[in-house]
Amino acid sequence: MYAVCKSCKKHGLIKNMQKDSNFYFCDETCWLDWMINKLKLNKEEKEELKKYLFKNENKKINKTLSKTNNKKH
């Protein structure tokens, strides 16, 4: 089965995507970008927050974001 990333709108296999609530994301970066855009900040504040959070790309951003499993419901 396929899903669409809530952040970047790319299509991908569900088993290769991350899930948070009822939404699918390509990876933690798309998830974080989507969460930042939900905040009530002006454009400059959002960009500064993104720079701060993305400066260490090798570090896991959020451990609560779970990988989907390939079970059929």
The pLDDT, as a whole number, for residue 57 is: 53
The 8 Å CB, 24+ separation contacts for 23-26 are: 24/68, 25/65
Of 22 and 58, the structure prediction assigns the larger pLDDT to 22
Span 41-64, mean pLDDT?
A: 71
What's this model's pTM, rounded to 2 decimal places?
0.62
Tally the C-alpha atoms within 13 A of residue 16's C-alpha that lie toward its C-beta: 10
**Between 44 and 67, the higher pLDDT residue:** 44
Torsion of CA 31, 61, 20, 24, to 10 degrees: 40
Statement: residue 65 has pLDDT above 90? no
What is the average pLDDT value for the chain, to the nearest integer?
A: 78
